[in-house]
Each structure stands twice: as structure tokens, then as C-alpha cells.
Amino acid sequence: MCLTLESDYAVRIIGCLTEENKRVDAKNISEKTGVSLRFSLKILRKLVSAGLVKSFKGMQGGYELAKPPAQITMKDVIETVEGSYYLNKCHEDEFVCTRDAKSFCRYRSVYNEISDIVRSKLESYNFEQLVK
């Protein structure tokens, strides 16, 4: 299992804004992260919508973190792009299990435990730590 490229790029963008520690325009973000300008703008819209990044228009426009890097975790960024992390689709509301509804699925609890561990680990890393 791999993170999508979009999640990887979102992490890079937050890392860039953390390192710069100032307002940065989208073109510079794109150049510093190696993410195309078009894809950077798409990801930045999601990060702004989630309240992780602030955007500013005009000549002095650009993007900056909406909160201190210590308050932004890897989980925040990845789940902004991907949605809630689950190892298996059986945890999604719209999933229809092929097993008989009366039967107990012995695997679901294991998948749930692993998902909880991954989410917890992602939450343990914040961007203040990551850019040191």
C-alpha cells in the first residue's frame, strides 16, 4: 500500500511553508517542492479549505500556514487529501460486505487495530519536528 502522489505532495507543500516561515507564492512553492504549479494549486485549495493554510490575494499574495507547525500533523495533511485512513474498505460507510450480515468477520477487528496504529503514528509527527 502506498500513499497517493497527492498526499506526498501535500506533505511537501506543508513542509515548504514550514521551512520558509513566511508567505510564499504558488510559483515558488511549486519550484521548491518539485510539484507542478497546477497540481500545487489544487492541493493548496484543499489545504486552505481544511484550515491548515491561509491564502492571500494581490501583489503581496501567497500562502502561509494557518497555525503553528507544531499543531499540524502528518495525519492532518494526509487525511485532508485522502479522507480518513482505513486499511480496509470495510470501515467505509458505503461499503457493502459480501459476508452474511449475521456472521462475524474475524478480520475486521485486525484491520481496525492496524488502522488505529497507523493513524496514531501519523498523528505523532508534527511539522515542527519534521523540518528540524
Confidence of residue 103 (pLDDT cuts 50, 70, 90): low
Q: Which three cell numbers stand for residue 11?
A: 506533505
Residue 13 has pLDDT above 60, yes or no: yes
* Domains and their CATH numbers in the chain: 5-130 (1.10.10.10)
Q: In what helix (H) or strand (E) does residue 130 lie, and over which residues does it extend?
A: helix 127-130
Question: Distance (Å, rounded) from C-alpha 17 to C-alpha 3?
Answer: 21
Question: Distance (Å, rounded) from C-alpha 58 to C-alpha 95?
Answer: 44
**Per-residue confidence (pLDDT) for residue 101, from 0 to 100:** 56
Name which residue leads in pLDDT, 98 or 83: 83
In tens, the pLDDT along 22-46 reads 999 999 999 999 999 999 999 999 9
pTM value? 0.86
Least confident interval from 10-14, 41-45, 98-102: 98-102
Confidence of residue 59 (pLDDT cuts 50, 70, 90): confident
User: Are 18 and 127 a contacting pair, CB within 8 Å?
Assistant: yes
User: Are 66 and 54 a contacting pair, CB within 8 Å?
Assistant: yes
Which residues 6+ apart lie within 8 Å of 36 measured at CB? 30
